[in-house]
Each structure stands twice: as structure tokens, then as C-alpha cells.
Chains A and B, each alone.
Chain A
Amino acid sequence: MSLPRSTGVILAKELRVELRSRELLSTTLVFVLLVLVLFSFTFDPTSAEARRFGPGLLWLGLLFASSLMLQPSFVREQANDTLSALRMAPIEPFAILLGKIASNVIFLFFVELILLPIFAALYNLAVLPVLGRLLLVLFLGTVGLATTGTVFSAITAQARLRELLLPLLLFPLVAPVLIASTEATVGLLSPEAALDRVWLVFLIAFDVVFLTAAWLFGEYVFEE
């Protein structure tokens, strides 16, 4: 089977599993919402302050959520040792990883789509005029988080204390994504509503670097 087709099969399987339980999406959504509301107690959410801190809070919330949400990607496969079955399938090992990365991008992006209007309302930010560019930034940042997070969740699934280990490994690695997407979002929500090219190019570079790394080294992490 070709890589795109086998990736599609894995992706469809991940989506089906999630659609049947819906546990990941609902918990993540409530989690980020809680984080956003709790953060508002740490400063006075006037419009100037919200413009300055809001994007950072949003991205920190998403970062925390992704470390929780990406965990089950591979842990779920362990209960019935289904990862071995996937490995035995006549497909490239990278397809398993890519399918899971794609499904995690979709899950996270879906959570962001629902959260965005709530975030805008809570912090009184005008997102509609910059919606297209904001979604682009959200998407690129999400690809970066999901790519590194999925590979690392495959790694931590094989370790003890994995719930603690994943954020520990992931957070320093995705510090550049956090900076770049926060700065890009701050630029978009500022009165000038400008998207800084530097950060856009940077996010694309991060995604390309780690998708390539996942392609080159990813299959080692679930080798038998």
C-alpha cells in the first residue's frame, strides 16, 4: 500500500476510535477552557492587558492540553497490544506515525476552532477581522505541537511515569513553537493587525524540520 493510502487508513481508524468514545475531545476542551478562565484571575483582563497576555495564555493552554491529549495516542494501543498488529500490517512504519500525527492535528485544531470564539468573548478580543490569518497561525503551531508530541508520546508510552515524562520532554522542545505562535498571535490581535512574516516562516521551518525528523527517525521509536 502506498504511503498516502496507508496513512489515510490509520487516520480513519484514529478518527473512528475517537468518534465512538469522544472522551479525548471533550476532556481537552473543558481543560483548556478551565485554564483560560483560571488565568484571568492572575491579572486584570482589561482590553489592553488582554491583548498583551491573551495570546500567550491561549498558547500555553493549548500546550498543556496537547501534552495531555497526545498521551493516549500510543498508550491506547497497549491495552490489547494493537501496536504489534499495526506493525505487522504490510505498510510503511512511518504511515502509522503520520496517521497519528494527522489525527492529532485534526483533534487539536478542532478544539481550537471551538475555543476561539469563547476565548475572543472572554478576553474581549476582535478575532473576526484577522480570522483567516489567525487560523493559519493556529494550524501551523498545531502541526508543530502534534508532530513532536506524537513522536514523544510513542517514546514515553514505553517508559514508567509517562504522564509526567511527556510534558518534561515536550515543553523544552516546543519552546520555539510557543514563542513563534504567541508572537504571531500578538501581532494579529494588536491594533495594527499585522502578521509578522518572520514568525510565519519560522513556524513553517519548525514544522518542516520535525516532520522530516519524524520521517527519518520516527520508526525507531516503535520498533519491536
Chain B
Amino acid sequence: MRGDLTATTKSNPAAEVLWSVLAFAFLALAGYAALFVAPTELTMGVIQRIFYFHVPSFWTAFIAIATTTFGSFAFLKTRAMKWDWISVSAAELATAFLTIGLVTGPIWAKPVWGVWWAWDARTTSTFVLWAMYVSYLLLRTLVDEPERRALLSAVVAIFACLDVPLVYFSIWWFRTQHPQPVIGDGGYLDPRMTKVLLFCWGALVALFLIVVRQRYRLEKLRAEVDALRMEAERRGL
């Protein structure tokens, strides 16, 4: 930030728009495939189609969580702010995709299992994971200094990641010792169903990549604005 006070982040609006249009077209196609291409499931009927967005949301959330965790390790190692920007961008999307998964789950469960929430190991541990990510994001809003915020939230993200298997296994052992509703696990999937499922996942991953890129740019621009503001104050402008 020498000489004149100008931002360094450049953007290419045409490319941004093109990528976004492509991602949304992909999503629309995925919606069409889930509703019309995939065969209707025999016992569950039409409601089973929610599964083409329910399951891929979790898979995409796990990509996002892996990204946040990796970014947090990388930040602690290198102290480069870009890793923190990647972590927070991915963490917000992880929370969004976990929320989608947790909301679509009960919509599917009510007609199929008869209850909104079955307290099984997978949904319950996902809920705990969601709570950890929400508090991670809250922590970030409550620490003002950027480097301190990056440092503290990186440690929280790593602790949360270490906790995931422990949460899952504790709830799983807890549930296997107590009576619980019997939950079928799909078992056999029609090959067309598998294809639609993977296609929908592809669409959600594309959405994830587009949004994470924009969110990363936003975080970078914010940091730049802060730096410019401090520079302007220093020069008494």
C-alpha cells in the first residue's frame, strides 16, 4: 500500500457472471433430474426425491469442513491471512449446507419414519457439528482484531474437527444401548438413482465453489479496506 491509496484486488465481472450462470444452470438441471429423471421409489414414493439434495448437502458440507480445518492448520503454520479468509468462507458454507441437510432430513423423516427427528447417531451428531460451526462463526463476530480472530478461530476449528469422531461414536454407542426406531438405510439403489445423486452433488459442489470464491474475495476486500483506512488515518487524510 505505497504511494496512492488504491485497492489491489481486481475483478473480472464478465467471468464472474459467466461462472455464476453456469453454476445456476447446473443446479437447475440437478433439480430437474431429481424431480423427473430419477425413478420414483417404490415404498417411500415422491418424498424420497428430497434425498437427491439432502445427502449431497452433507457431502458438500464435509468438503467445506475439511477446507476450514485445512485452512486453520495452514494459518497456524504460515500465519498468512489468506488461509483465514478461506477458513471463514468455507465455514459459512459448511453451516449453510449442514442447515439444508438438517432441515430436509425431518421433511423426509416425518412421512417415512413417522417422526420428524429420530435421535439417531448420524442426525444427532450432525446437529452437534452444526452447533460447533455456528459458535465458531459467532466467536468470529466477537473478536475485533483480525489476526487475533484468525488465531483463536483456527484453534476452535481444529478442536471441533478432533471432536467429530468422538461425538459420532459416543452417540452411536449411546443409541445402540437404548431402544430406537428402526431405520432402513436405503440398501440397494437403482443405477439411475445413483447417477442423479452424483449429478446433484456435482451441482452443489459447483455452487459451493462459486460462493466460496465470492466470499473469499469479500473477506480479502474487507481486509484491504481496513488496511487502507488505517493508512489514511496515519497520513491524517
Residues of A within 8 A of B (CB): 148, 151-152, 155-156, 158-162, 165, 168-169, 171-173, 175-176, 179-180, 183, 198-199, 202, 205-206, 209-210, 213, 217-218, 220-221, 223
Contact = CB atoms under 8 A, between A and B. Distances in A.
Given A173-B159, A173-B160, A179-B171, A165 B139 contact: yes
B72 to A, nearest CB: 9
Contacts of A173: 132, 159-160, 163
A92 to B, nearest CB: 17
Contacts of A159: 139, 142-143, 152
A221 B151 contact: yes
A138 to B, nearest CB: 18
B162 interface: yes
A181 B46 CA distance: 43
Contacts, number: 90
Main secondary structure of the interface of B (DSSP, over half): helix
A183 B170 CA distance: 10
B192 interface: no
A157 B2 CA distance: 36
Contacts of A209: 162, 166
11 contacts: A151-B159, A155-B155, A160-B144, A171-B131, A172-B128, A176-B170, A180-B170, A183-B173, A202-B173, A206-B166, A209-B162
Contacts of A199: 173
Contact of B138 (A152, A168, A217): A168
Contact of B162 (A152, A156, A160, A210): A210
B132 A198 contact: no
Interface string B117-146: 000000000001101100110110011100
Given A155-B152, A160-B142, A221-B155, A172 B131 contact: yes
